[in-house]
Amino acid sequence: MQNKELSETVDALVSWIRSKTLEAGAKGVVYGLSGGVDSALVGALCKRAFPDTSLALILPCHSLEQDIADARLVADAFQLKTKVIYLDHVFDDLKKLLCSDGEQQNKLLLANIKPRLRMIVLYYYAGLYNYLVIGGTNRSEYTVGYFTKHGDGGSDLIPLGNLLKSQVKELAAYLQVPEKIINKPPSAGLWENQTDEEEMGISYAMLDHYLLGEKVPPDVKEKIERMKMCSEHKRRTPSIPDF
């Protein structure tokens, strides 16, 4: 995108966040700040939409210290109002409760508790201040269901939902998100050394090519379409009988 288009996109997103929030009778917004590029862009946009009534929550849950430092770096860069709440002990207690009967532990299921705990905290503060919860999922992730249902997928507004991962990076660079944040390997921080692309089994570049209607290898196309189909329930409200 050219600078003019980038500027127009930023203005449109800021206006959209503001208008949707006010339509709901809310006074501002709250969002999770993880240290990744998506949440950094959300933070920059929310600061513009609600300079005095936006809150960034840094919610470590056995997180890497570097991710916490990166979240603080973003907060400093955009002068974001932040609150840090450690969820380690809450997670540990719940894990002990769930695994107390000697049942086999499932690494992914346990890891998905982390974004769901964060969702609880985000909605607590949303209710406390009459804010809306802003999600950070982009179009690339949303299409294939790469988000935790009722976790990082639990939000009121998803401003990046029409932006490819590559477009998120472009906008982040335009708004002067620190280069370190833009260039770090995308990760949901579910466990140490976890990366989005390794877990999805596909690169963001290839996924974006597919979403742009460009040609991708047949096996990649098949994988993306299978992921999209299997995650359809994540993008819908719960089904109810039509009789």
pLDDT-based confidence at residue 240 (cuts at 50, 70, 90): confident
CA–CA separation, 171 vs 166, rounded Å?
A: 9
Q: Are 54 and 30 in contact (CB under 8 A)?
A: yes
- Look up the CATH architecture of domain 3-235: 3-Layer(aba) Sandwich (3.40)
CA–CA separation, 216 vs 45, rounded Å?
A: 32
Q: What is the mean pLDDT of residues 196-205?
A: 87
CA–CA separation, 243 vs 241, rounded Å?
A: 6
Nearest to 34 by CA among 1, 71, 79: 71
Coil/strand/helix, residue 132: strand
Q: What percent of the chain has pLDDT over 90?
A: 83
62 DSSP assignment: S
User: 26-41 pLDDT, tens per residue?
Assistant: 999 999 999 999 999 9
What is the predicted pLDDT for the residue at 198?
A: 83
CA–CA separation, 100 vs 92, rounded Å?
A: 12
Share the mean pLDDT of the chain: 93
CA 82, 189, 186 angle in degrees (round to 5)?
Answer: 95
